[in-house]
Structure 1
């Protein structure tokens, strides 16, 4: 009698039964049949596609020319109102739109050209030895020649000319800002609100500073009189106050006079008290980290380090210029005032920065 719960299959038989069935091989179906496009069969459709491509490339070229015109014709400070956005800089809006249209025309023209006129048949290239013989080279030359002819550039010179013009003119929006110095000369960096007799005030408390209050190792972040806090916004407007905040900021430190190495630094300071621009000469970040033991000033953005005992020369980091020094003295009441303006532009480097006479100082 057979036990219904007894498995009389051997392990080998069970393994063969459980193994997955081997997939049968099948023939390579190959590439699907080529479906011709309308432009392949209808000369009129091909001509329309050619005209459309030329229009797109021409639109790109016109936008590049419009970029150049806008770059020189529109005041960079001109403001306008755009519905849904609010106040906007019209100079930035104009160069942004013209750049976008120039690039969009090239992209759409190339895509439309490829989809309607250029060959779209799929080709399979079999593997072959890496070393090419004369026959293979001849075949490649024939293939390239065939590709040139099938691209229809030899018969559609309008596309070739318009594409070349669009690509050539598109270089203008890229090259012009570089050649022109990324905009007008930064006139604002030549002048600040520091003049002879300007009182130094602590930012943001607006308190004046007596020389006796500046102890050795102490640090004050100061602004010129009339440009601190809400009073500056109310008197000069928010935009002017913001610009002043960006370029007029100064750090005031008292050093041991015996540690100062530069004669100019001594003459432009007062009893070891020196004042330097806080605007980093690398990319304009505020240099506000002072190490009391080493007398180093550090920029938090890219770690440029300046030695305050040696005319704020750079000792580490990407900055390549020392921080400009503000000459200071004291008035009759003992308050620290500026002995004159900065003698060089503050902030990052730019072309012609060191040309004599730019700030009235030879």
Structure 2
């Protein structure tokens, strides 16, 4: 190796190309300008916090079925308030970094990947210096307004948890009642025993979802209709009567081997209809909980802890299948609250 190619100890890897003269920002030389900028940034954070509060107000004050310019009024308000608030926080942080945080060039040479103890101490020193230069401690107005806005950002998340559905202890009743017909959930056609073959499974729902008033308008619509259909969804199966082993008190809950169960898995509420007609087993596609519909919907495999709720059936004067009551058991996932409420129902019975 020639002398020209020998490394030079402590030499810079490349020649300093030269940097233009540093230009100071107005906020660096004028404290009044810096104060004015700090107030503008704080105002952004404060408005962001107010928008997050507006999100919560819109959730409770605007009807879920209301419209605005053809859109959902509630969703429009959610987008404006939550999106606007997050935008203001982002813009405020960028302005803070560009106009008020430390502004000077730094050069750092490459070094081995493994850091020495001295390097770690130096890094912590630099981090603390960066925190000091950011003005986070010296500018309480910006700091406090940002922390307040970020704290209020959590409120929309808490409010939206309410949209996961009713609390578990509020699901002990559905719209099913004595005399209500079972209908096919695709065609809306009422079901007769002659329409169901042995081994067949039909997804169904209560006839009330198709009822109309005197003007021909649906009785149920919008979110109310969706909630009713979700909670009252059923499966209707038919097997040979000799394959059914009802528990005591459930001897008359079927009609010629036709049984009706909730479509909602008692584990975490997944809709189920995977039917093994030879074994009379119903399998949940989410976590493989398996129910024996010939044996009162009992769990034979998987994480579910409660049998599938069964709906007692009968026939009306025209020979259509009807419910004889609501589900005696609680419909829904097996949360602790459900176990508590189920015990209350059992005690009353």
Secondary structure of the residue aligned to 2:322 is strand
Aligned partners of 2:180 and 2:322 also within 8 Å = yes
1:160 matched to which residue of 2? 143
2:10 matched to which residue of 1? none
Deviation for aligned residue 1:351: 7.1
1:174 matched to which residue of 2? 157
Q: Which sits farther off after the overlay, 231-240 or 155-164?
A: 231-240
Secondary structure of the residue aligned to 2:22 is coil
Q: Which sits farther off after the overlay, 27-36 or 107-116?
A: 27-36
* Alignment CA distance shift 1:182-1:99 (3 Å): farther
1:269 matched to which residue of 2? 254
* Alignment CA distance shift 1:217-1:81 (3 Å): closer
Secondary structure of the residue aligned to 2:43 is helix
Match of 1:289 among 274, 278, 286: 274
Structure 1 unaligned blocks of 5 or more: 1-24
Q: Give the distance between the partners of 2:96 and 2:221, measured in 1 at CA.
A: 51
Question: Could you give the per-residue CA deviations for residues 238-293 of structure 1, whole angstroms, max 9, x where no partner exists?
Answer: 53655544443322222344544551554533453210122444665543332212
Q: Which sits farther off after the overlay, 276-285 or 151-160?
A: 276-285
Secondary structure of the residue aligned to 2:66 is strand
Aligned partners of 1:344 and 1:359 also within 8 Å = no
Match of 2:201 among 200, 219, 227: 219
Secondary structure of the residue aligned to 1:269 is coil
Secondary structure of the residue aligned to 1:329 is strand
- Is it true that 1:116 corresponds to 2:99 in the alignment? yes
1:80 matched to which residue of 2? 66
1:197 matched to which residue of 2? 179
CA RMSD of aligned residues (A): 4.0
Q: Give the distance between the partners of 1:237 and 1:68, measured in 2 at CA.
A: 27
Secondary structure of the residue aligned to 1:124 is coil
Q: Give the distance between the partners of 1:217 and 1:168, measured in 2 at CA.
A: 57
Q: Give the distance between the partners of 1:270 and 1:296, measured in 2 at CA.
A: 19
Q: Which has the larger radius of gyration?
A: 1
Deviation for aligned residue 1:155: 2.7
Q: Which sits farther off after the overlay, 136-145 or 189-198?
A: 136-145
* Alignment CA distance shift 1:45-1:235 (3 Å): closer
Residue pairs, 1:310-329, within 5 angstroms:
310-314=295-299, 321-329=306-314
Q: Give the distance between the partners of 1:87 and 1:222, measured in 2 at CA.
A: 31
Q: Give the distance between the partners of 1:94 and 1:352, measured in 2 at CA.
A: 33
1:4 matched to which residue of 2? none
Q: Give the distance between the partners of 1:345 and 1:334, measured in 2 at CA.
A: 28
* Alignment CA distance shift 1:104-1:213 (3 Å): closer
Aligned partners of 1:313 and 1:322 also within 8 Å = yes
Matched length: 330
2:40 matched to which residue of 1? 52
Aligned partners of 2:169 and 2:341 also within 8 Å = no
Match of 1:252 among 236, 239, 251: 236
* Alignment CA distance shift 1:245-1:147 (3 Å): closer
The two structures have a TM-score, normalised by structure 1, of: 0.72
- Is it true that 1:39 corresponds to 2:22 in the alignment? no
Structure 2 unaligned blocks of 5 or more: 1-12
Q: Give the distance between the partners of 1:359 and 1:213, measured in 2 at CA.
A: 38
Deviation for aligned residue 1:205: 5.8
Deviation for aligned residue 1:98: 2.7
Secondary structure of the residue aligned to 2:259 is strand
Aligned partners of 2:190 and 2:321 also within 8 Å = no
Question: Could you give the per-residue CA deviations for residues 34-79 of structure 1, whole angstroms, max 9, x where no partner exists?
Answer: 33322223323222221111111111222233334444x426x444
